[in-house]
Amino acid sequence: MKEKVAIIDSLGAHGSSHHFYLFGQANGLSNAGVNVSLYTNNVTENPKYKGVKFFQFYKNIFGGKSKYFSGLRYIFGSLFSIFHAKFSGVKICHYHLFHVNILVLFDFILTKLLAMKVVYTIHDVVSFENNESNDKLNNWVYKRTDKILTHNQFSSEVFKDHYIDVETPIDIIPHGNYMPFLDVKTDKIYSRKHLGIPQDKKVLLFFGMIKKVKGLEILLLSLKDVIAENPDVLLVIAGRVWENDFRSYQAIIDENNLSENCLIHNKFIPHDDVDHYYSASDLVVLPYKRIYQSGVLMMSMSYEKAVLVSDLPPLTEVVKDKETGFVFKTENSKSLSKKLNYILSDLNNLEEIRINGAKLVKTKYDWKKIGILTKKSYKSIL
22-50 pLDDT, tens digit per residue, is 999 999 999 999 999 999 999 999 999 99
d(CA 200, CA 198): 6
Q: Report the 10 Å Cβ neighbour count for 259.
A: 11
Q: Report the 10 Å Cβ neighbour count for 67.
A: 8
Q: Is 224 exposed, middle or buried (0-12, 13-18, 19+ CB in 10 A)?
A: middle
- If we measure between CA atoms, which residue out of 47, 42, 15 comes closest to residue 30? 47
Q: What is the pLDDT of residue 141?
A: 96
Q: In what order do the strands lie in the sheet with 117-122?
A: 52-58, 35-41, 4-8, 92-97, 117-122, 147-150, 170-172
Question: What is the pLDDT tens value at each position of the chain, 382 positions in all?
Answer: 688 999 999 999 986 789 999 999 999 999 999 999 999 999 999 999 999 999 999 999 987 778 888 999 999 999 999 999 999 999 999 999 988 999 999 999 999 999 999 999 999 888 766 555 578 899 999 999 999 999 999 999 999 999 999 999 999 999 999 999 998 888 999 999 999 999 999 999 999 989 999 999 999 999 999 999 999 999 999 999 987 789 999 999 999 999 999 999 999 898 889 999 999 999 999 999 999 999 999 999 999 999 999 999 999 999 999 999 999 999 999 999 999 999 999 999 999 999 999 999 999 999 999 999 999 999 999 9
d(CA 28, CA 83): 25
The domains found in the chain, sorted by start residue, are: 4-176+366-379 (3.40.50.2000), 180-363 (3.40.50.2000)
What 73-81 contacts at long range (C-beta under 8 Å, 24+ apart), as own/partner pairs, is 74/10, 74/103, 75/103, 75/106, 77/10, 77/39, 77/41, 78/8, 78/10, 78/103, 78/106, 78/107, 78/110, 79/110, 80/55, 81/6, 81/8, 81/39, 81/55, 81/57
Q: What is the pLDDT of residue 314?
A: 95
Tell me the residue length of the chain. 382
Q: What is the pLDDT of residue 338?
A: 98
DSSP letter (8 states) at residue 89: T
| Start-to-end CA span in the chain (Å) | 13
Q: What is the pLDDT of residue 133?
A: 56
Q: Are strands 92-97 and 117-122 parallel, antiparallel or unpaired?
A: parallel
- If we measure between CA atoms, which residue out of 108, 62, 59 comes closest to residue 82? 108
pTM for this one? 0.92
